[in-house]
Amino acid sequence: MALRKKHREAEVSTDSLNDIMFFLLLFFLILSTMVSPNSIKINLAKSTTKNTIESKDNKPIHLAVTKDKKFYINNKEITEANLETEISNYSSKQIEPILFMHLDRDLPIQVIADVMTLSMKLKVKPVLATAPNK
């Protein structure tokens, strides 16, 4: 009597593979919406104390710009066209000129960038003045 052995082929069940792939796809879609590489987080400046660094020999230049783009150097109103010449006049009298910038928070970024570029061009150290926290 010959007994036959039944040979079964080995199978891998892939029934749950579709569910796993769906959950992985869903996970990566949700994760990709949380991470946005085009955004830049900016920490805005805040201050807690008031330190002055003025000395008799080297007084800083105070530049104030209002939200309607009026420029003031040491409380004297000037035009935007004369800004470079006025800063260079004040900075030529100093060994290490410092420019304190009192800029309105509603100013467009381009105005702030122009003032920073001008200070770098004239080799004046720019310092952004902030309002104290209350």
* Cβ-based neighbours of 100, under 8 Å, separated by 6 or more: 60, 61, 62, 63, 127, 129
Taking only the tens place, the pLDDT of each residue in 49-81 is: 666 555 555 688 889 888 888 999 988 999 988
Give the confidence band of 35 by pLDDT, cuts at 50, 70, 90. low
Give the confidence band of 25 by pLDDT, cuts at 50, 70, 90. very high
* Cβ-based neighbours of 133, under 8 Å, separated by 6 or more: 46, 47, 48
H helices present in 4-132, as ranges: 17-34, 83-92, 109-121
Residue 44 has what pLDDT? Answer: 55
Give the confidence band of 22 by pLDDT, cuts at 50, 70, 90. very high
Question: Among 134, 110, 114, 131, which residue's Cα sits nearest to residue 44?
Answer: 131
Residue 43 pLDDT greater than 90, yes or no: no
Give the confidence band of 95 by pLDDT, cuts at 50, 70, 90. confident
Give the confidence band of 39 by pLDDT, cuts at 50, 70, 90. low
Residue 38 pLDDT greater than 60, yes or no: no
C-alpha span between 63 and 128 (Å, rounded): 10
Quick one: residue 85, left, alpha or beta (phi over 0 = left, psi -120 to 50 = alpha)?
alpha
Domain extent listing, the chain: 61-128
Rounded mean pLDDT of 6-25?
A: 83
Q: Does domain 61-128 have CATH number 3.30.420.270?
A: yes
Q: What is the pTM of this model?
A: 0.56
Residue 16 has what pLDDT? Answer: 83
Question: Among 46, 104, 97, 45, which residue's Cα sits nearest to residue 71?
Answer: 104
